[in-house]
Amino acid sequence: MRHLKLVLLAGACALASSVAMAQTAPSAATVGSKISQGGNTTGGTAGSAAAGGTSASTIGLGANAISKTGTSSTIGGAGSAAAVNGRATSNTKIRENPQMLRSQSRATAMDGGTWSRSMTNTMVHHNGDLSSWTRSMAHEPGSKPAMSRTRVR
């Protein structure tokens, strides 16, 4: 049930990005959650930002299970960006090394001087540790930038 809450929270954040696109003032929001129980850890962060006709969202989720037979880890990340008259880019990189899995997602939308950006970095260490952070920002010329950060350790 707790895992479902994390997924629903991340989905709500992504939906908020598309709703925020209709707003005139820049907005940014981030969320995060981590749950550990009996050697199993699940967690992640997500964020979205919107200004003018731009919006950007990212998410990173990871899980680690330690049992008598070994360790099992999984990770995922995604990003999405949209701009009415400008340009939008998003990318996700997932890397593995002997110590951890790592997901890095970035989404940026720009339309003249108006822009939205979101970045998420999630790490699942094979020893059971999980950490994730998200930073979302939005700016429109003539207004104060909106920023939000969330970190889960």
Count: domains in the chain: 1
- Looking only at the bridges linking them, the beta strands covering 54-67 and 114-125 are unpaired
| Domain encompassing residue 101 | 2-152
Model pLDDT, residue 24: 67
Predicted confidence (pLDDT) per residue in 25-43, tens digit = 899 999 999 999 988 999 9
Give CA 23 to chain center in angstroms: 21
**Tell me, what DSSP letter sits at residue 53?**
T
Predicted confidence (pLDDT) per residue in 92-142, tens digit = 999 999 999 999 999 999 999 999 999 999 999 988 899 999 999 999 999
User: What are the strands, taking DSSP E only, across the chain?
Assistant: 27-37, 40-51, 54-67, 70-83, 87-96, 100-111, 114-125, 130-139, 146-152
pLDDT at 10 over 90: no
